[in-house]
Amino acid sequence: MTPAKELLFLALGGSGEIGMNVNLYGCDGKWLMVDLGMTFADPHYPGVDLVFADLEFIEERLDDLIGVVLTHAHEDHIGAVPYFAQELGVPLYATPFTARLVNEKLVEARIAKSVKLHTIPNDSSLSLGPFGIRYVPLAHSIAEGNALVIDTPYGRIFHTGDWKLDDAPLIGVPATQAELTAIGDEGVLALVCDSTNVFNPEASGSEGAVRDGLMETVGALEGRRVVVTTFASNVARLQTLGQVAEATGRQLCVAGRSLDRIIRVAQASGYLQDFPETVDMDDAMDLPPGELLVLATGGQGEERAALARITSDKHPIKLEKGDAVVFSSRQIPGNELAIGRIQNTLAEKGVQIITDRQSMIHVSGHPGRPELAALYSWLKPEMLVPVHGEMRHMAEQARLGASEGIPRTIVQKNGDLVRLAPGGPRKLQTVRNGRLVLDGDILTPADGETMASRRKLAENGLVTAALAVSPDGKLVSGVEIAAIGLPLEEDMPEYIAEAQDDVAKALLALKGDKRRDRAAIAELVRLTVRRAAQRWSGKKPVVQVMLRER
């Protein structure tokens, strides 16, 4: 579909889920992409780490795509760039901090020379086809979080990106109430808004309050080695922890490559200019415990991150009874078990665990209900399009917006093509959408046969049966059977013997043309072996038959 004299909105990712944000705006024959993110796989995708939106809809319309504008540098907004930017073949636009992180990804993927990346100064504007785009800084849990004011011939869109309100953000200068009200006074057709934290009845809180909380928390741990884990991308939090180290007389040690990268990029972008010199990990353990503060990755329980390796004694930093780990982060849904495993191991060591339930050491980067209501009142949009949330989040934000006086709302999901103007919001149709997974080095459909087969193997195990038959279907060899993943450790020999006997009897019972039909013989063997496995284990394994004729 090519946009006519109209303004369209289409989410390919991030609507109906948290993460993997990919949004398209269509106008006067052209498409504009806002963000190109990814999400991390869950156990539903065994053997996979990264998940992406399926971009088939826009890949079929690349001649009409005029650019990708990035709101900020979180992975769920930029993580897919190195996998798709070269294929899309259009320029990328980002503010300096985001652009530096994106460029590092492009360099790592060896495509930096073939992808045009334009750095847009903070608070600046650009024009792309029928779209006039202005970056509007908003507070978030990363440097240079931005909303986008998108002007079109059919009305103005305020696309929030990820945001919150923060009177003491520590990093950056967000737009003020007066500046946002001025945008609203000029007229806003549609507010396309982050829904993540809509169920929180309170405001999300300030980074300034977190600084005070971390000062108090670490200050009370005098004489003890302290590890703090937080999201690496939260530059304001990194600045706070540098200040905490200095104020409490501790040297700072940084453990984790993503932290090293963020610190380097932040300093190149003008942030963290007073960040203290850090001590090498190998030298850190020579310091008295009360003189060391370790900043570590891995607060979400990631197996390969620094905190997991510290906890399992596979890292130069060691923790002992009486030391403390401060989780200056929230649990991302789905990570509870991984985080719990680390915390249980720490507790077994006698290490004190401090989370945001015990002290003011973390705040969300997304708006609670009071912040949403405030933004509605300043912008006074004609319509609300909730995004960046599961269906329950977006539906609740639509209810909140309506209760706050927004005239029109629409709850859309990935693949819903919505006309915003004229005469909107109105769903026109559902277009192809879905997920791709990075499986090894290959992008493959998340709902394809590869993932389905792998799930079957993980759930039920694998049995192989190898045998040879004569041209008239008689068994002329033994039946070799091997099983992986069946819960038959003690009974495996008995199961194999019974399955072998069942196969021999089944082949003897074959009649007529089926005795010479290799496909029929293979299917008979497969079903026979599987039935035997089910009798012995209750499982229905995948059965692979290797049949030879001789």
> Nearest CA to 37 among 4, 69, 1?
69
Side-chain half-sphere exposure of 489, counting CA atoms within 13 A: 0
| Residue with tokens 């004569």, as numbered in its chain | 470
CA dihedral of 15, 18, 20, 23, whole degrees rounded to 10: 30
Q: What is the pLDDT of residues 463-505, one digit of tens each?
A: 999 999 998 888 989 999 999 999 998 999 999 999 999 999 9
Question: What is the radius of gyration, based on Cα positions, of the chain?
Answer: 28
The DSSP letter of residue 291 is: G
Q: How far apart, in whole angstroms, are the C-alpha atoms of residue 228 and residue 247?
A: 15
Q: Which amino acid is at 251?
A: Q
Torsion, Cα 29 33 39 41, to 10 degrees, reads 30
Distances (CA, A) of 183 to 177, 203, 411, 421, 505: 10, 22, 24, 19, 81
Which conformational region is residue 14 in: left (phi greater than 0), alpha (psi within -120 to 50 degrees), or beta?
A: left
Strands 324-327 and 226-229: parallel
Exposure string for 136-163, b = 16+ CB within 10 A, e = fewer? bbbbbbbbbbbbbbbbbebbbbbbbbbb
**pLDDT tens digits along 367-385:** 999 999 999 999 999 999 9
Residue 531's closest CA among 489, 493, 501? 501
pTM of the model: 0.91
Position 383: which residue type?
M
Asked if 468 contacts 538 with a C-beta cutoff of 8 angstroms, the reply is no
Secondary structure (H, E, C), 442-482: EEEECCCHHHHHHHHHHHHCEEEEEEEECCCCCECCCCEEE
Q: Would you write out the chain's pLDDT as a tens digit for each of its 550 residues? A: 789 999 999 999 999 999 999 999 999 999 999 999 999 888 888 888 899 999 999 999 999 999 999 999 999 999 999 999 999 999 999 999 999 999 999 999 999 999 999 999 999 999 999 999 999 999 999 999 999 999 999 999 999 999 999 999 999 999 999 999 999 999 999 999 999 999 999 999 999 999 999 999 999 999 999 999 999 999 999 999 999 999 999 999 999 999 999 999 999 999 999 999 999 998 999 999 999 999 999 999 998 899 999 999 999 999 999 999 999 998 887 788 999 999 999 999 999 999 999 999 999 999 999 999 999 999 999 999 999 999 999 999 999 999 999 999 999 999 999 999 999 899 999 999 999 999 998 999 998 888 999 999 999 999 999 999 998 888 989 999 999 999 998 999 999 999 999 999 999 988 887 788 889 999 999 999 999 999 999 999 999 999 998 7
**Angle, nearest 10°, between helix axes 177-185 and 369-379?**
50
Q: Which of 74, 89, 64 is nearest to 36 (CA)?
A: 74
Q: Are 159 and 150 in contact (CB under 8 A)?
A: yes
Give the residues across from 544 on adjacent strands. 464
